Structure 1
Amino acid sequence: MLPRVLKTYNRCSINNRNIMDIMYPIRNLSQLPLIKQRAYIDGEWVCAADERIFTVSNPANGEIISKVPDMDERDVELAIKAASSAFVEWKNTTAYERSRVMKKWYDLMVKHKETIAQIITLECGKPFAESKAEVNYGNSYIEYYAEEARRINGEILQSTYPTKKYFVEKQPIGVVGLISAYNFPLAMITRKLAAALAAGCTCVVKPATDTPLTALAMAELGHEAGIPKGVVNVITSSHASNPPVVDFMCKSPDIRGISFTGSVQVGKIINEKCAPYVKRVSLELGGNAPFIVFNSADVDVAVQAAIASKFRNSGQTCVAPNRFLVQDGIYDCFVDNLIVEMRKLKMGDGSQGDVKIGPMINAAQLEKVRQLVDDAISKGANCILGGKRAPLVGDLYYEPTVLTDVRETMKLYMEEIFGPVVSIVKFRTEEESLFIANQPDVGLAGYIFSSDISQIFRVSKNLEVGMVGVNEGIISAAEVPFGGVKKSGIGREGGHNGIEDYIDYKYVCIGNLRF
């Protein structure tokens, strides 16, 4: 049992029942305790060592939802020790046992999916319909890896010598640190955590500062499902505390792998910090996705895909299209139709059923979007829709925006926008579209819209990205490898490939055999 576990923690002044009743028609009020006010270490709900806290607010209206521990290196060390102790037994559980407890966890996540979606909307700001979709998507990773746990098979290799047998077995690497981003507070974690647990690793989870409540709710349900204490630990920390916390995780000799989702800049820092320790590193970093619409495309299909892929979570997704490259033959038609559909997008609090565009996650993200748009306009971009903040809706809202005449001199031409901004570039030839698409030093996702099957295969092959959507704007799934090339990261999450970051290969040679 770890010290300083407090039985009461009454610093949060928000009445959960009142907030939730106002925002959602909750049928089962007993689900409300899923909003936690403490972190989760070694199977216990704990405060920070020095009892510091920070607030979690709803970006839609600024209201405080909860207060959680602002942890430091001392707390992380406790979590790592708990995970290290738990690894001794967890690594030796059978695949069947790990699969069984993960299936129980999945069943509880499905049972409480409505409440988890409500928590996501409260802390992340995305529309409730999107939050429900994320819960289904995030839960699918738990289900998939619960099944995949029983398919982590070794090999018997053909020997050159009749007196030797060669075996290869797969073993978990040990304790792993999982650091996630705010934009998908459930799916970003389950994509990592479920794969790690299936492999036999134990975990220290560091959710994003802006969205820790979803991770804590998941931990509660994992505890109820019977995941042994210490196998999953969730630590929370403020923006100010993040650098030393992450630094400690990277440098701890007891953490054998780090999986991080976030910006290229931070990913480079984490990679550098882990290098001296030759630590396993998996990085899912930024993107600058091209969305290429050729003359042969079905414009209606392309426009609907643009709406779906660009405006999820108000454009705050790593696979959101950044640069819309539209061939000259259908350029005017595409732009006109896109604007018609964008005018239908209602901004507001995601708890309202008809809202499609929620807030930016925080003031810093809003300011980044504003600066990129203002820079483009100052350098000659034509703003034909939006282009400014929406203070009448709320402090963190930015209008859905369309910029045309976008050129290479503008910052948003090469930088990831992460907001509800469509920047459009007209092109003439397929070669020109590929040149523009491949200019950035990142390559996560790309999208192609065409009816020419030969063109589809040519362009898919030559796009410098890790994932391609063809005539489709929503491409993620639990069964497929998610990740990028160039500076978009290292490794893959999802699919059977997602196990690899948590597995060591051990070769065994048995000699002097007589047959």
Structure 2
Amino acid sequence: MELAERARAALKRCGVDLPAAVLSGGRTVLARTPVTGEELFPVPAADAAAVTDAIGKAHEAFLTWRTVPAPVRGALVKRFGELLTEHKADLADLVGVEVGKIRSEALGEIQEMVDICDYAVGLSRQLQGRTMPSERPGHRLMETWHPIGVVAVISAFNFPAAVWSWNTALALVCGNSVVWKASELTPLTSHACSALLARAAAECGAPENLNVLVVGDAEAAAPLLDDRRVPVVSATGSERMGGEVAPRVAARFGRLILELGGNNAAIVTPSADLDLAVRGIVFAAAGTAGQRCTTMRRVIVHESRAEELVSRIAAVYARLPVGDPFAEGTLVGPLISASAFTSMQDALSAAAADGGTVVTGGERVDVVGDGYYVRPALVRMPAQTALVQRETFAPILYVLTYNTFEEAVALHNGVPQGLSSSIFTTDQREAEQFLAADGSDCGIVNVNIGTSGAEIGGAFGGEKNTGGGRESGSDAWRGYMRRATNTVNYSRELPLAQGVNFG
């Protein structure tokens, strides 16, 4: 089936007819596919005025939704999860077409959406505050959590559905509405997801416009950063993007949830199980063609194990099936664009100039059409140069060696980003040291697994240039609510705190 036809069929089954939607004219973006490099068809796009209008609609929906009991809000998310399950294959088709993910990864992304809906439904009965002892007799001290308003979700191309759902499922059960600024590279997936959520809302009797989708460029999205009716902005993207977004939202005292760069590493110690390490490293470094925020970009291996580890990774890399993501057996699909390929080649040239050696990979593979398919690259580096300290969003894995554990941790932490990390060791002391306060400085710290593949039950996010935001599980829901500290005087007296006498 032609990719354009495949996309149209999946959209139609999800309740979307995009070609008809653009007949009335107006701004558009062209949907395209990295699988063949071809353009598919135009999709409606928003300008700044349309985004401002979307904020107004979402705000009106919020004013009603915030008064709905949280368990009832959970019923909407439950129905949405059921529709996601029903249309899992359709959405995976769209992710495959627009991002080039292999089938299992595309299906896995949609399953992640189903999982966060399940989590959020349970959360809708657990938005709990605390009751604290008061120092004043006849008083009760407690905290309550309340909906905060419109949540802006700015998502990236590499997870065009899952990251939006992390934010939206939680925002909805917390009593908020959402304006979703989807990536211009993945408008089809975002339209299908939004249509399913709108259907769930209609079936559950929820207000319209609880989620309003806008597809447009950075200039069009500006109102999301500047409008005070948007108290929370959750943005996923590059460090450069975060540097532009953060000051504008902070200038109006808005709240930020940022998920930015990830220059993730694994330490491989003398005691490591190399069978386990090689499997974990290869998936984390080559999965999604190196285009995950949690992609492994550095391996820091003890010099006594370096030759064996490099040899084994190189052997696996050489036989990784690179090709059409819809073909059975493919493990590495295309890069998203020509510019991504250029960035990868520039990084490999810079690595050579820094004294690095490409062990294997890096070359373009002729697969189909004008898609940019590459073999994952393995590069030995003499030191952690300025190049290695930057994130190149492509499948390049730099190998560094170390002598002492302290040196390994220093190399690991010696980059500006702080998202995901891992260590492969069978020495409990080393594992515990890596998890300790003076170990990994990342938001995600793993032992004997790679840097990719986080579960929704834990809070997802990182430190330093990664932005410090948290999404998904644990207590990440608090980022979508406002806290109120309440004191109730049920006595007939009026004692003041700290023994103050104002009589």
Q: What TM-score do you get using the length of structure 2 for normalisation?
A: 0.92
The answer to whether residue 48 in structure 2 is matched with residue 68 in structure 1 is: no
Given the alignment, which residue of 492, 495, 498 partners 2:473?
A: 495
Distance (whole Å) between structure 2 residues aligned to residue 501 and residue 135 of structure 1:
24
- CA separation in 1, counterparts of 2:60 and 2:431? 51
Could you report, residue by residue, the CA deviation over 1:380-438 in whole angstroms, capped at 9, with x for unpaired residues?
Answer: 21112123323455442222111113423351x11112211121112121111111111
Q: 1:277-304 CA deviation, whole Å, 9 max, x = no partner? A: 1001110110111111111000010000
Q: Secondary structure at the match of 1:416?
A: coil
Q: Which residue of 395, 403, 424 maps to 2:379?
A: 403
Q: Could you say which residue in structure 2 is the equivalent of 1:319?
A: 294
SS of the counterpart of 1:176? Answer: strand
C-alpha distance in 2, partners of 1:510/1:379? 66
Partner of 1:9: none
Q: Is the 8 A contact 1:35 1:66 kept in 2?
A: no
Q: Tell me whether 1:349 sits opposite 2:324 in the alignment.
A: yes
Distance in 2 (CA, whole Å) between partners of 1:217 and 1:119 is 9
User: 1:89, 1:406 → 2: CA distance?
Assistant: 60
Q: Which residue in the other structure is 1:479 paired with?
A: 457
Q: Does 1:275 align with 2:250?
A: yes
Q: Distance in 2 between matches of 1:255 and 1:378?
A: 46
> In the alignment, which residue of structure 1 is the partner of 2:405?
430
Distance 1:258 1:149, change over 3 A: same
Question: What is the identity, as a one-letter code, of the residue corresponding to 1:295?
Answer: P
2:417 aligns to what? Answer: 442
Q: CA deviation at 1:327?
A: 0.8
1:5 is aligned to none
User: Cα offset for 1:506?
Assistant: 1.2
1:509 and 2:494 are equivalent in the alignment: no
Post-superposition offset of 1:475: 4.1
Q: In the alignment, is the contact (CA less than 8 A) between 1:289 and 1:320 conserved in 2? A: yes
Counterpart of 1:263 in structure 2 is 238
How far apart, CA to CA, are the structure 1 residues paired with 2:10 and 2:431?
Answer: 51
Which residue does 1:234 correspond to in 2? 213
| Aligned residue type for 1:467 | I
1:83 aligns with 2:58: yes
Give the Cα separation in 2 of the matches to 1:131 and 1:406.
37
Query: Does the C-alpha gap of structure 1 residues 273 and 30 become closer, same or farther in structure 2, counting only changes over 3 Å?
Result: closer
Q: Which among 89, 99, 118 is matched to residue 114 of structure 1?
A: 89
**Cα deviation 1:303-337 (Å, max 9, x = unaligned):** 00011111121010111111111111111111111
Q: How does 1:147-158 map to 2 (within 5 A)?
A: 147-158=122-133
* 2:285 paired residue number: 310
Distance 1:278 1:378 in 2: 44
Counterpart check, 1:463 vs 2:443: no
Please list, as runs of the form range in 1=range in 2, the aligned pairs for 1:46-445 lying within 5 A after superposition: 51-226=26-201, 227-237=206-216, 242-391=217-366, 394-409=370-385, 411=387, 413-445=388-420
Shift in Å, 1:374 = 1.2
- How many Å apart are 1:460 and its aligned residue? 2.3
Q: Which runs of 5+ in 2 are unaligned?
A: 494-503
Deviation at 1:479, TM superposition (A): 0.5
- The alpha carbon displacement at 1:184 in A equals 0.8
Residue 451 of structure 1: aligned partner? 426
Counterparts of 1:379 and 1:162 in 2: how far apart (Å)? 70
Aligned to 2:496: none
Q: How far apart are the structure 2 equivalents of 1:101 and 1:498?
A: 20
Contact 1:139 1:187 in 2 (8 A): no
Q: 1:34 maps to which residue?
A: 14
Distance 1:424 1:35 in 2: 47
The code of the aligned residue for 1:229 comes to E
Letter in 2 for 1:496: S
Q: Distance in 2 between matches of 1:16 and 1:475?
A: 28
Residues 375, 410 of structure 1: 8 Å contact kept: no
> Alignment partner of 2:215: what SS?
coil
Q: What SS does the corresponding residue of 2:197 show, helix, strand or coil? A: helix
Partner of 1:6: none
User: Contact 1:49/1:71 (CA < 8 Å) preserved in 2?
Assistant: no
The residue type paired with residue 398 of structure 1 is V
> How many angstroms apart in 2 are the aligned matches of 1:314 and 1:483?
21
Distance in 1 between residues matched to 2:189 and 2:6, nearest whole Å: 16
Letter paired with 1:122: V
Q: Contact between 1:48 and 1:70, CA under 8 Å: does it hold in 2?
A: no
Aligned pair in 2 of structure 1 residues 30, 317: CA closer, same or farther (>3 Å)?
Answer: closer
State the alpha-carbon separation in 2 of the partners of residues 440 and 137 from structure 1.
29
Residue 478 of structure 1 deviates from its aligned partner by: 1.0
Amino acid aligned to 1:125: G
CA distance 1:292–1:162, shift in 2 (3 Å)? same
Instruction: Kindly state the Cα deviation for residue 244 of structure 1 after the two structures are TM-superposed.
Output: 1.6
> CA distance change for structure 1 residues 424 and 508 in 2, over 3 Å: closer, same or farther?
same
Q: Percent identity?
A: 26
Relative distance call for 1:15 and 1:351 in structure 2 (3 A) is closer
One-letter amino acid of the counterpart of residue 470, structure 1: V
Change (3 A) 1:30 1:291: closer
Please tell me the residue identity of whatever aligns with 2:213: V
Pairwise CA distance, 1:49: 9.8
> Which AA in structure 2 matches 1:464?
D
Give the Å deviation of 1:484.
0.7
SS at match of 2:125: helix
> Is the Cα contact below 8 Å between 1:103 and 1:142 reproduced in 2?
yes
Deviation at 1:16, TM superposition (A): 7.2
Alignment gaps of 5+ in structure 1: 1-13, 22-28, 40-44
- Flag the 1:16–1:485 CA change in 2: closer, same or farther, 3 A: closer
Aligned to 1:3: none
The alpha carbon displacement at 1:30 in A equals 7.8
Q: Provide TM-score, normalisation by structure 1.
A: 0.89
